[in-house]
Amino acid sequence: MSKRTIIKGTLILTITGILTKCLGFYNRIFLTRLIGVKELGTYQLIFPLYILGISFCCQGIATTITKHVSYLLGKKKYSDTRRALCFGGFLSFVLSLLVSACFFFGCDFIAMHILKNTDCRILLRILSPAVPFVAIKACINAFFIGHEKPVFSGSCQLIEQIIRIGSVYLLAISYMQDHVDAKTAVLGVVIGEMGATFYAVSCYILFRRKQNQANRLPDKDMCISVKKKSSLMIPMLKDIIPITSNNLIFTLFSSFEAIILPTFLFQYYNNADTSMEMYGIITGIVIPFLLFPATITNSLSTMLLPSISYACAKRDTEAIKKALVSSALFCIMLGSFACVLYILFGKTICTFAFESAEAGTLLQLMGFLCPFIYLSTTLSSVMNGIGYATQNLIYNILGISVRILCIIFFVPHFGIHAYICGMFGGYLLHNALTITKLASLNS
């Protein structure tokens, strides 16, 4: 994959990502006015579990599909790219059915003992059919990314948001007008995922027909022997297991962090309202601001993974080195720009948008984290691309552990500043370990 292709793909994914985030922000405002704050809170309560289920059944598999499709293209094994999608898609679909069954049949236990809110029971049942559609859509989008077709993936995200918002609006003005609540919003999610999946499947069918017309393969090449299946399955499983574990651990640790941080903030402030207010400012205002420019670096990471895999297939170490250095410098430059912006104008931004000078002060204080956060995302993508997903998993666990330990041992004594130091220490450790590993490969 050329440098021009990476830049073009990054721009496409960045534009669609920003548009999707803007639509998501509008959707949040729309839902707040439609169903009210209480129902919105109930609606939001089920999503950490939903994200955990998706992490288990498709995120790691989708990343693996992208990597192996681009690698096989580099080896000119075009028909094998379809086999990679079929194997990954089948595995993801089976796991998604398991997750969906857990949500549907285990909703009573989950609502009562995990979420501590019985209103979530019916929401989980309504949401459960969405999981298989998410799995299918994620795998097809990953296939297109591996084929250097990011426009399909980006447009799919936009369509999902548009259908979600449109379906909620139509449900609200139709027969459900007198019963608009959190269930309406969850139905919108399910309909949105179904619509986006049908769009992704249609795009894949058209893409496959064009491939068949442009490059007709003999029938014997399309036969899938047991030996060939095994040769493709084993390498994919070696990536799927650590990458999925990585995503699960990230989600679990993030959930654990979200649960314990208010508790240890309470030990410092000795006031429930103050601790929850500080927690809300950090998670609801400051961190979203810090991560907004990361839309660009996330898009870059998405395009970098197939590029690195393609270069690995060609054994082009020089291309890998150039891609790594240029992307790392870009992330540092973008992070430095965001850092200066937030330090100089953080208080003004938060005061204008949220009427919170305290949030602005924290945004100014945490602005220096931007280069480390953005660089971490890109380095993780490079590690996955060159086949070091297990090492990347270990480094991420160590980085997150630093944050958890700082919350437990230092937040009760130093408050939110200890949490900020924990974030800095975690990202610094992850980046240092990853750079050291990558440097040893080049030596």
- Mapping DSSP to helix (H, G, I), strand (E, B) and coil, where does residue 148 land? coil
- Reference 76, options 221, 239, 226; nearest CA is 221
Q: Which of 154-158, 320-324, 373-377, 406-410 has the lowest mean pLDDT?
A: 320-324
CB-based contacts of 385: which residues, under 8 Å, 6+ apart? 67, 304, 305, 306, 307, 308, 309, 312
pLDDT digits (tens, 9 = 90+) for 46-98: 877 888 899 889 888 998 898 888 878 777 777 788 888 999 999 999 999 99
pLDDT for 19 equals: 77
pLDDT for 9 equals: 61
pLDDT for 353 equals: 67
Amino acid at 228: K
The mean pLDDT of 369-388, rounded to a whole number, is 83
- Do the beta carbons of residue 61 and residue 240 sit within 8 Å? yes
- Do the beta carbons of residue 17 and residue 78 sit within 8 Å? no
Torsion angle of C-alpha atoms 141, 142, 145, 147, degrees rounded to 10: -100
In percent, how much of the chain has pLDDT > 90?
23
DSSP string, 61-75: HHHHHHHHHHHHHHT
| Chain-centroid distance, C-alpha 113 | 27
| Chain-centroid distance, C-alpha 430 | 18
**CA distance linking residue 430 with residue 414, whole number of Å:** 24
pLDDT digits (tens, 9 = 90+) for 130-151: 999 999 999 999 898 888 777 7
CB-based contacts of 410: which residues, under 8 Å, 6+ apart? 418, 421, 422
Torsion angle of C-alpha atoms 428, 430, 433, 437, degrees rounded to 10: -130
Amino acid at 261: L
The mean pLDDT of 169-198, rounded to a whole number, is 80
